[in-house]
Chain A
């Protein structure tokens, strides 16, 4: 990695003298700004901008930061251009631009988290986790039915996608050759990009053939989710199986172990940590899906634990519906929507941390 060549003040001074005394138009050594210069320029530009804005009566934190950043970049370029030359000046400006872009990108992301926590805590209580919405018109009620629906549908989707996904990955890595394997690889990639709402439409179109156009049930949602989940599982498992060293397989074959036992007893145990973490991330990805469930799982106010009959509410759909179609008064509905969003974020966070933990704890010891 690059490290700025720092110079102590002595050398900087000699350099400065050299440049001044040099008669040749292209000196071999250029001056260098002292270490504190960037910070100095930053503070100076913020103060100048803040001062001017305050004097004209337009002071605001956001405006000061935006204009200050612009002035900072401009001032740095000018100063560096005179002391260090054009190339260094460009470098410094790009550093500023990249850093500022990073900070800009952070703003909405932090804002999302803060907003959800602030608004979600209002109803983050026992009642939310214990009650359904049956018979609730105003305040009170909760998301128990939605939480159960999310858990049931996601569990069903996981039960369907994990074996199919892992077996497909095993096929691709251990058995697959030729046209079929290439086709599967390509279409798994294509599946990764299916919009979630199209998956929901497919599940609807499929089940509507048998059960009529009014069909809404939890299992259909699970089917839609597994269409989204399978490619993720295949991809991550495939990557994990690929990094199992071939020596392990060959050692097993040399002992006369049949191929399937080699896979079950050697290859998969070696990569189980990575597979588990990939599966967890896949679950985290589908647990927040809204659109397909809105279409095929529907919405209800009561608890429905049977995925094969009747509508089933899930957390994202509950959040969406509470916000988009609130009753009167509006407040309790909006509060419940934010709390659902908070619960969703927490679930996703926990799943992600779990995945990292699993990957770290059960990683095979390599030498």
Chain B
């Protein structure tokens, strides 16, 4: 082409960037979507509080159970924390081992497939785990719980008498552990995979065995990942509804006896069980207990996020 001889119009370069209409609409809608999320979250808190207030102001006689609100919610909080804690104690060491196995022990060809399987298991609906817990795990664990009562009965946890149906707090804890195992595994696996290869190879080059390499290079690097994964799992276990609702027939007591037939229910399970038949102040009471659950999970998750973010700042140096 020949050099342009005619320039039809001279474009005067503007001093400030041109904001096209499309640009403004797009930026506006993107910002709007972000703000909407904040509004929704604020809405969750506001509406829950608004609906919970009647329960706080109602006289004790109107509440379910006819007692103080704290007396009603207290055992539920205890049940929630206890079941989640059992799940966490069982699931965390197992999950770390599984993650280690997938990242450092399994044959390379097997490892990726195993990773997929773990991801898949994290997606299995909780109602399925609940059905499994009550139909398979509860009857199957009866002999084990009887053994616990016979030989470890002097520990208050296993005082018994063993529930005949096997629907106990211990079974709930194990079911929840099975549910949160894939989550903790997935997070730990991600972190273990990010361990700097040079650290690992340096440890091996110095003559470390595989376990010493893991202890010196992988675990210190992945510690915060394990903690945050466990916290996320704890959050899930705290809010888990159906598995607890379907396995436990809870009563409003506080007991550390894990294998007897009278167990405290959890907040979420109690809501699911009571809500369909509740009216009036009972509904408000349930919403108030939901608010308590919201606050607890909010705290747990904030701590988990805080740990993850702190690690993110550090990991830039590696």
A190 within 8 A of B: yes
Chain A residues whose CB sits within 8 angstroms of the CB of B31 once the complex forms: 171, 175, 180
Q: Is the CB of A193 within 8 A of B290?
A: no
Q: Is the CB of A316 within 8 A of B242?
A: yes
B29-57 contacts to A, CB under 8 A, are 29-38, 40-41, 43-44, 47-48, 50-51
Q: Is the CB of A201 within 8 A of B287?
A: yes
Whole-angstrom distance between the Cβ of A176 and the nearest chain B Cβ? 7
Contact partner of B104 (CB less than 8 A), chosen from A1, A264, A288, is: A1
Q: Is the CB of A97 within 8 A of B97?
A: yes
Main DSSP-derived SS at the B contact region: helix
Stretch at the interface among A10-18, A44-52, A84-92, A151-159: A84-92
Q: Is the CB of A99 within 8 A of B34?
A: no
Q: How many A-B residue pairs have CB under 8 A?
A: 267
Chain B residue nearest to A184 (CB atoms) is: B34
Q: Is the CB of A259 within 8 A of B23?
A: yes
Query: Which of A105, A209, A337 has most chain B Cβ within 10 Å?
Result: A105
Stretch at the interface among B60-68, B158-166, B255-263, B272-280: B272-280
B1 within 8 A of A: no
Residues of B within 8 A of A (CB-CB), count: 95
Bound Cα distance A261, B290 (Å) = 44
A254 within 8 A of B: no
Q: Is the CB of A341 within 8 A of B128?
A: yes
Whole-angstrom distance between the Cβ of B272 and the nearest chain A Cβ? 5
B123 within 8 A of A: yes
A182-211 contacts to B, CB under 8 A, are 183-184, 186-199, 201-202, 204-206, 208-209
B186 within 8 A of A: no
**Contact count band on A:** 35 or more
Stretch at the interface among B2-10, B129-137, B148-156: B129-137
Q: Is the CB of A105 within 8 A of B181?
A: yes
Whole-angstrom distance between the Cβ of B6 and the nearest chain A Cβ? 21
B221-278 contacts to A, CB under 8 A, are 232, 235, 238-242, 245-246, 268, 271-272, 275-276
Bound Cα distance A33, B204 (Å) = 20
Q: Is the CB of B97 within 8 A of A101?
A: yes
Query: Which of A102, A170, A190 has most chain B Cβ within 10 Å?
Result: A102
Contact partner of A90 (CB less than 8 A), chosen from B34, B136, B209, B240, is: B209
Bound Cα distance A258, B23 (Å) = 7
Q: Is the CB of B128 within 8 A of A112?
A: yes
Chain A residues whose CB sits within 8 angstroms of the CB of B26 once the complex forms: 259-260, 263-264
A116 within 8 A of B: yes
Contact partner of A164 (CB less than 8 A), chosen from B25, B37, B174, B214, is: B37
Q: Is the CB of B34 within 8 A of A116?
A: no
Q: Is the CB of B38 within 8 A of A184?
A: yes
Cβ contacts B93-135/A at 8 Å (1 or 0 each): 1110110111011001000000010011101111111111011
**Also in contact, A260 and B40, with CB within 8 A (given A91-B209, A196-B239, A202-B47):** no
Bound Cα distance A114, B271 (Å) = 31
Chain A residues whose CB sits within 8 angstroms of the CB of B102 once the complex forms: 102
Chain A residue nearest to B242 (CB atoms) is: A290
Contact partner of B232 (CB less than 8 A), chosen from A111, A171, A181, A193, is: A193
Chain A residues whose CB sits within 8 angstroms of the CB of B129 once the complex forms: 112
B314 within 8 A of A: no
Query: Which of B23, B33, B137, B212 has most chain A Cβ within 10 Å?
Result: B33
Whole-angstrom distance between the Cβ of B269 and the nearest chain A Cβ? 9
Query: Which of A116, A199, A261, A344 has most chain B Cβ within 10 Å?
Result: A116
Contact partner of B132 (CB less than 8 A), chosen from A90, A105, A115, is: A115
Stretch at the interface among A70-78, A123-131, A302-310, A318-326: A318-326
Contact partner of A201 (CB less than 8 A), chosen from B38, B124, B271, B304, is: B271
Q: Is the CB of A108 within 8 A of B178?
A: yes
Whole-angstrom distance between the Cβ of B11 and the nearest chain A Cβ? 11
B172 within 8 A of A: no
* Extra contacts besides A195-B294, A324-B246 (17): CB < 8 Å: A91-B212, A98-B105, A102-B102, A112-B132, A167-B33, A172-B34, A188-B37, A189-B301, A191-B41, A195-B235, A259-B26, A260-B26, A291-B241, A291-B268, A337-B131, A348-B123, A349-B120
Which residues does B use to contact A, with CB under 8 Å? 18, 20, 22-23, 25-27, 29-38, 40-41, 43-44, 47-48, 50-51, 93-95, 97-98, 100-102, 104-105, 108, 116, 119-121, 123-132, 134-137, 174, 178, 181-182, 185, 204, 209-214, 232, 235, 238-242, 245-246, 268, 271-272, 275-276, 279-280, 283, 286-287, 290, 293-294, 297-298, 300-302, 304-305
12 contacts between A and B (CB under 8 A): A98-B105, A105-B94, A195-B235, A195-B241, A213-B280, A259-B26, A260-B26, A264-B26, A294-B272, A320-B246, A338-B131, A349-B120
